[in-house]
Amino acid sequence: MIGTGYVGLTTGACLASLGHRVVCADADPHKVERLRQARVDILEPDLPGTVRDALDAGLLEFTGDTAAAVAEAEVVFLCLPTPMGAGGAADLAAVEAVADQIRDVLPTGCVVVNKSTVPVGTSERVAALLDRADVAVVSNPEFLREGRAVHDFLHPDRIVIGAADQDAARRVADLYAGLDAPLVLTDPASAELTKYAANFFLAMKLSFANNLATVCERFGADISDVTEGIGRDPRIGSAFLRPGPGWGGSCLPKDTHALLTACDQAGVDFPLLSATIETNVTHQRRLVERVTAACGSTDGSLRGVRIALYGLTFKAGTSDLRDSPALAVARLLRERGAELTAFDPALREERPDLSDLVELVDDPVRAADGAAACVVLTEWPELRDLDWAAIAARMAGHEVHDFRNLLDADRLARAGLNWRGIGRTAAPARVA
């Protein structure tokens, strides 16, 4: 297993839990040493215990020596970052560098597996870089959700394997023996495109939900009731229909842009993909305009206005800030001159990477000091149980913009606060 990020560490630890002997290689010696001690720095439920159990069983080890890790391997997984590069294309520098590094030390007959999210044609590219007729290259995309990665690995919806060599495909499939999931055996290009298509569809569904929330506000409808009504149709489904401050994270932004760039390069017009990305940006700007107007601004400026933000990570249950929609909204507020104070249960005050954007505090009540408004950006359940009366007493204003529809409007009203959800014109009535 080359790379010990979310995908590599989860895949390695879970494969070890299935009884395989796994060696994880990483270029960061500090991370390797911590992992040898079962010290997992990723906030991911069940992952520390899975790593510890695999280490104790002698089925998992960590090394900084990539060549040594692959020297006796039957299967080598590439779990490397593929960030957004120039023009939106996926940056394959890490994948290509590792392929060059391991080319001459791969054992005869081993299988190299692309686990990273990569553009169509990458399996062929890696095979060409390896230039080893005795080594097969297979695509096996991951479908792990942050906050549920271990569960998703052990209880997958499907296992997709793309290979030109069917024996290699079967060898990779056998690694997942015992997991109850449909197996999709296909060619490498189809497997690679499946991952991009899945993430694009999820992004599209979220953009649809956010746009629909705007429609609900205009017509006096309730987004929760509307999405429940359509989500019960099995052709639509209820997942990814909750509106919020936009979509983001480590996958959807880079993968949608990478797919759009690939389509452009191939001469394929895909207006739905372009609209999905643009809708996300437009939605975030609209939310910021709403906050700006509620703060009494008549010229669009928030200069000198203090705003409290609750939640900065891209989703609850993780400390990941990569392409967080919360940070996107925060930047738009900051561009208008707002002074931002933020609280997030997963983040501590020692975050110099955020210091130019927000003042991060550990106390949710202190975050509200002098705030004209509070803005809820991440769906942390513990935010429901904050002392909103104490928060109200510290605020200069009374507005709470709940961009996750997370809070109890009646409770906030009793605290003297004006709750404003998304896709709702008022606190909804509920029938038991």
| Active-site residue list | 251
| Rounded Cα gap, residues 72 and 69, in angstroms | 7
- Whole-angstrom Cα distance, residue 307 to residue 295? 9
Closest of 200, 219, 169, 204 to residue 276, by C-alpha: 204
Q: What is the pairing mode between strands 75-78 and 60-63?
A: unpaired
Q: How far apart are CA 96 and CA 363, in angstroms?
A: 45
Sequence-distant (6+) residues with CB within 8 A of 353 are none
**Contact (CB, 8 A) for 286 and 307:** no
- Which of 201, 225, 204, 195 minimizes the C-alpha distance to 213? 225
In this structure, what token pair is assigned to residue 242?
């909750």
Rounded distance, CA 48 to CA 40, Å? 6
Neighbours of 65 (CB within 10 A): 11
Sign of the Cα torsion 339, 345, 346, 349 reads positive
Residue 270: other Cβ atoms inside 10 A: 15
Pick the closest to residue 73 from 118, 135, 122, 117 (CA basis). Answer: 135
Q: At what angle do helices 271-294 and 188-219 cross, to 10 degrees?
A: 40
